[in-house]
Structure 1
Amino acid sequence: MSHPRNNTRLRSARVAAGYHSQQALAEALGVGVRQVRRWESSTPPWPHPDLQSALTQLLGQSMEELGFTPPPGRERSKGQRPHSALDTTRKGLAAVPVQSTATIQPVSVGDDFAAVTRAHRSLYWSVAPTALFPTVIGHAELGCVLLAETVGRTRQSVASSLSETWLLAGRIQFFDLRLSDEADETWLRGLQAAREAEDHLLGAATLAHMAFVPGWDGHLDEAARRTVAARTYARRGDAPALLLAWLDAVEAECETRASNTRTALHLIGHGEDVLAAGGEQPVPDWFDWFSAPRLAAFKGNTQLRAGHLPQARTTLCAALDQLPESEQKQRSVVLGDLASVEAAAGDPVAACQYAVRALDQLKRTWYATGMDRVREVRQALVAHQGEQCVRDLDERLYDWSTTVSALAR
C-alpha cells in the first residue's frame, strides 16, 4: 500500500531556514503545532492571509514554492508583493488591519515616531525595566499601525524605528527580566521590521541578539547559525569596526558558556584587532550598548571561566576604571565578575567587598544579569559561609528590597 505524499517542500524550506521541528516553526508563527502538521500533510489547507505573509517572510519562498495550492479565485496576481508579517502582531499584542482605512499620515510622522524611539533608548539605562517595558511595547504597537498608514521614505523611517523598538524590547526581556523565549519572539518581529526598512545593520544586530538565546542554553549549533547570518548582514551593510567587534564578542560569549574558552579568547583577540584597525564607517546612533571597555569586560569574564585569574583581575579592573559612571548596569556585571575572581583565588573578604559594591549598583539600577553574577559569587563562597564577611553579604543579599526586587522580576 502506498503512503500519502506529504508536503516535503514546506518541510525542506522549514529545515533550511533553521526550524528543525514543527514545534519551532509553530512558535515562531504564534500558532499551534497541529496547524504546522496540517500544512506538512499531503493536502495542506490554504493559510489565512496573515499567516501566508509570515510563512513567506520566515522561509523566503512563495506559497506555491512551499507546496500550497491556492483555492480557485485566490491566485496572487503577478508581481503582487506579499504583506509583511508585521501586519498582524501576535502573542497578546493588538491586531493591526492589513489595509488601513485611515488617511495616509504626514511625512512628519517618521521623525516624531523616531524621537520617541530615541527617548526610550536613553531611558533604558536608568529607568526600571518593569516600568519602561510596557511603554516600549505600546510604542511598538503604534509603529505597527503607522506602518500601514505611511508610504515611501516615511514608511521606511517608521519601519527602521520600529525595528529598533522591538530590539530594545527584546533586550529588556532577555537581559533585565530573564524572559528568553519571549525575547526571541520579540527580536523576530524586529528582524521583520528591519527587512521592511531594508536596514542590514539593524538586521545584523537583531540576529546577533537572537544568537544569545540558544547560546546561553548551550545550543551552540543554533547560536552559530544565527551569528553567521548576523555577520552576513553586517557585510551587506558595510558595518563599522565597533559593530564587527561586538559580533566577535557575541560569538565569544556563546563559546565561553559552552566551555570553549580558547576559541572565545581567540575571537575576542580578533575583536581587539578590529577595533585597533578602526575604520571610517559611522556607528549608528542606536548602537549604544558596546565599547572598548565592554569588550574588555567580555574578555575578563572569559579569562575568569578559563581559570586565568591574574589576567582576569587585571582585565576587569581596567574595564571597571574605563566604564563611564552612567553605565551602571555593566558596572554591576564587572563588579560581580571581580568578586568571582577573588572567590576563586581564595579571598572571601575581597570577594564579598566586590559583591556588596555590585549590590549597591543594583539597588540604584536593577539588572538581572548583574544579580546573576552576585548569586554565582555567593554559591562559590559556600565553603566560607560561616565567616563574618559572608554573613554580612547575606544580610545585603537578602534584605527586603533586594529580595522583593529579585522575586518580582
Structure 2
Amino acid sequence: MEANRQLADAISEAGLNQAELAEAVNDYLRSIGRDGTVSDRTVRHWLTGKTHWPHPRQREALEAVFGRSAGELGFRPPAGRRSTTRKEDPVHRRNFLTAATGTAAAVPLAAARPHAVGTTDVIRLRNGLAALTALDASRGGHEALERAALAGATEALGLQKYAASQRIRQRLFSVAANYTASAAWSAVDARQSDRAQGHLNRALYLAGMAKDPVIELRVWNSHAMLALHRGEFSQAVDAGRAAQATAVTRRDPLFASLALARTAVGHSSVGDRRGALRSLGHAEDALAKAGADDPRPSWVAFYGPSELMAITAIVRDEIGDSAGAEAASHRALAAIPKQFRRNRALATIQLALTQLHQHDAEQACATADEVFTLMAGDPLPGRMRSYLGDFLRDLITLAPDSTTAREWEDRYRSEWSQAR
C-alpha cells in the first residue's frame, strides 16, 4: 500500500486539512443532489493508498474541488478497468474573464450566490490565482491582468456578506489579499507606481484581516521593489527588513531567503557593500536549508537558486563587481525554467549590463538583442522597457562613438515604438 503523495500535495497547496477536504467534497456532492457522506476517515484512506480509486461521484467531487483529474490527484483504477470518470466541461469548472486585449485572464466568474459560503468557494477562487501567476511569468504585468486580479479580490470580499464560519471568512480575506497583491505586482511590473502603491496598501490591510504572514511577506517584497523603482533606496531596505520580520520566515527558510535577497538589493542601492554581501550570504545559507518540494503558493514558484543568482548579479554589478555579476547572470540563465519568460528576459538585460560595464559594447548589444526575441509577440512590460532604457543610457555614456551602439539605439527605438 503506497501513500498518495500527489493528493497530499494538492491538499497542502490548497491550505486544507483532512476534515476540511471532507467538508469540501460533501459540499460539492450536496450541490449536485447527492448525500455528502465523506469523512476524515475516507480522506485518510485516500491519502494512505488504502482506497486508490474512489467511487465515481467522489472522484467527480475531488476533480471539481481541485480542478485536476483523478489521475493528476494520484488515483489509479484497478488493473484492467478503464477510468469512467465523467469528463467535465472545463468551462463549467472554471469560467474566465476576457480582458479587453483579448487575453484570457484566469479568474473564476461568480457562481450563483449561495446561502452559505464554504471551502469549495475558497478553493474555486484560489484556482484562479495560479493561472494569473502563470500569465505574469510569461508576459509580465499589464492592465488586463491587473483588472482580472482586482475582479477576483472583489468577488472574494463579496462572499463575506453570506453566512460562513470565521475560518472561511479569514480564508476569503486571504484570497482577496492575494488577488490584490497580484494586481499590485502587475502594476509594479508595468511601472504604474501610484496604482501599485494603492494596491499594496490595500493588500497589506487584507493580509492583516486574514492573519496570513505569507501574504504579508509577499506585499513587503513588492514594496521593496517599488521603492527601488522610485529611487527610495533606504525605504527598499526597510521593506526588505519588514519582510524578514514576518512569521513565515521562521517557518520556511525559502521565504527567509527571498526577504534577505531583496534586502541585499536595497543595501547595494544605498552603497552599503558590506550589508549587501552579508544579506546575500545569509540568503544563500537560508535557501540551502529550504525543502524544494515543500508546498507553497504559486506566486513564489519563481524563487529558487536561479532567481537568487539573478539577484546576485544585480547586487554584484551595483557594488562594482561586474565580472562576478556576469558569472552570476550566466548561472541564472542556465537554470531559469522556460515558463518564466519575463524573468529570463530581465536576467538577459542584466547580463548585457554586466558586459557593458566591462566595456565589451559589441557583446553587450548582441546580448540585449536577445530580449526582443524572448518577448516577441507581446508588448514589453514597463519595468523591462525601463531597464532597456538604463542599458541604452550606459551604452551612450561608455561607447558614444561606437557603430554598434548607434545600430542598437536604432533597434531599441524601433522596438520601443512597436511595444507601446
TM class by smaller structure: 0.5 to 0.7
Q: CA deviation at 1:137?
A: 1.6
1:6-405 to 2 correspondences below 5 Å: 103-127=115-139, 129-152=142-165, 153-175=167-189, 177-235=190-248, 238-278=250-290, 282-286=294-298, 287-365=300-378, 366-382=380-396, 383-399=398-414, 401-405=415-419
Tell whether the 8 Å contact from 1:381 to 1:390 is kept in structure 2 after alignment.
yes
User: Which amino acid counterpart does residue 387 of structure 1 have in structure 2?
Assistant: S
Task: Tell me the residue number matched to 2:102.
Answer: none
Tell whether the 8 Å contact from 1:181 to 1:213 is kept in structure 2 after alignment.
no
Distance 1:150-1:318 versus aligned 2 partners, 3 A rule = farther
Unmatched runs of 5 consecutive residues or more in structure 1:
1-100
Tell whether the 8 Å contact from 2:345 to 2:374 is kept in structure 1 after alignment.
yes
Moved over 6 A (4+): none
Distance 1:215-1:355 versus aligned 2 partners, 3 A rule = closer
Q: Describe the superposition over 1:79-99 as per-residue Cα deviations: whole angstroms up to 9, x where unpaired.
A: xxxxxxxxxxxxxxxxxxxxx
Alpha-carbon distance in 2 for matches of 1:178, 1:258:
21
Alpha-carbon distance in 1 for matches of 2:256, 2:214:
10
SS at match of 2:266: helix
Distance 1:280-1:348 versus aligned 2 partners, 3 A rule = closer
Q: CA deviation at 1:163?
A: 1.3
Q: CA deviation at 1:218?
A: 4.2
Unmatched runs of 5 consecutive residues or more in structure 2:
1-112
TM-score by length of 2: 0.66
Tell whether the 8 Å contact from 2:244 to 2:260 is kept in structure 1 after alignment.
no
Distance 1:108-1:283 versus aligned 2 partners, 3 A rule = closer
Q: Describe the superposition over 1:86-125 as per-residue Cα deviations: whole angstroms up to 9, x where unpaired.
A: xxxxxxxxxxxxxxx9843354221211122222222222
Tell whether the 8 Å contact from 2:267 to 2:275 is kept in structure 1 after alignment.
yes
Alpha-carbon distance in 1 for matches of 2:288, 2:135:
30
Alpha-carbon distance in 1 for matches of 2:234, 2:225:
12
Worse overlay, 289-298 or 110-119: 110-119
Tell whether the 8 Å contact from 2:385 to 2:416 is kept in structure 1 after alignment.
no
- Identity among equivalent positions (%) equals 19
Tell whether the 8 Å contact from 1:109 to 1:154 is kept in structure 2 after alignment.
no
Alpha-carbon distance in 2 for matches of 1:240, 1:322:
22
Task: Tell me the residue number matched to 1:51.
Answer: none
Q: How many residues align?
A: 303
Q: CA deviation at 1:246?
A: 0.4
Q: CA deviation at 1:283?
A: 4.4
SS at match of 1:146: helix
Alpha-carbon distance in 1 for matches of 2:332, 2:284:
14
Alpha-carbon distance in 1 for matches of 2:355, 2:233:
29
Task: Tell me the residue number matched to 2:86.
Answer: none
User: Which amino acid counterpart does residue 366 of structure 2 have in structure 1?
Assistant: Q
User: Which amino acid counterpart does residue 176 of structure 2 have in structure 1?
Assistant: L
Q: CA deviation at 1:157?
A: 2.4
